[in-house]
Structure 1
Amino acid sequence: MHDEPTPPGLGKRGSTFDDLAAFLQQPDPGGYPVQAVRECVCRSCGGRSFEVAVMEEENAARRTCLTCGQHEFIADSEEYWDDDTELECYCACPCGSEEFAAAVGYSLREDGDVRWVFVGLRCLTCGGLGIYEDWKISYGPSAFLLDRA
């Protein structure tokens, strides 16, 4: 059994990318607004269903396509990912499923650089929506991260 982070947003449901994008763009009191949302699509086969692992200590996320098995890092996660540690956790919905549609929400600075990254997942079993990981981007230029959902 995987060690599973619990997502905020329990009880919210959706069935499409648009539902997940709207969820990511809901204002969070005291948080940064999300101005851009990108759907996660496998660069190898075009798949849109994933198993997602996070490294909470490092604020990093990696998705694995359920169609072809290809691993891809989200945003700048590759720089912080450590395959040699046991800090990897697989995301799981409260319903028990570990299969998700995924999207990345980006909070942007005035100059267009990325300020904050939010990894949003929609459970493919029950439609539950949640933000499973987020982290600050404290360097620039960082607008290139918009292409790394």
Structure 2
Amino acid sequence: MSTRSRRPARRTTGLGRVLVALYAVFAVAAVSRAAVQIATRFHEAPLAYALSGFAGAVYVVATLGLGRTGWGWRRAAWAACTVELLGVLTVGTLSLADARAFPDSTVWSGYGRGYGFVPLVLPVLGLVYLRRESRRS
């Protein structure tokens, strides 16, 4: 039996577990919020609502990528956390520079101000965790 088959299918301890839980909460919240907004008021702020949906998808990928082991999942987690960080920085800056472009907020507006800036901190923690894990391998 190889060592690969003995490894657990997910990360289950420490910071990894906390990150997976936080990402899961944000995934459910962002996808749910975006689904309601897109279904009921998409015409009011299509860019903001589409970005909320995109953010929700990124959180789902990050949750799965951080929660599972293996090269493919690790790569998905790296990509999701990187896209999230770039999204938070870009949308955060644009939403402050041109508030008219974002008539309704997204999870990333104002660098995640509406969510206690967790969307800004979360990808940084995810990337630090992934880097630490890759050094251990």
Q: Which has the higher strand share?
A: 1
Q: Same fold (TM over 0.5)?
A: no
**Superposition TM-score, scaled by structure 1 size:** 0.25
Larger Rg, first or second structure (1 or 2): 2
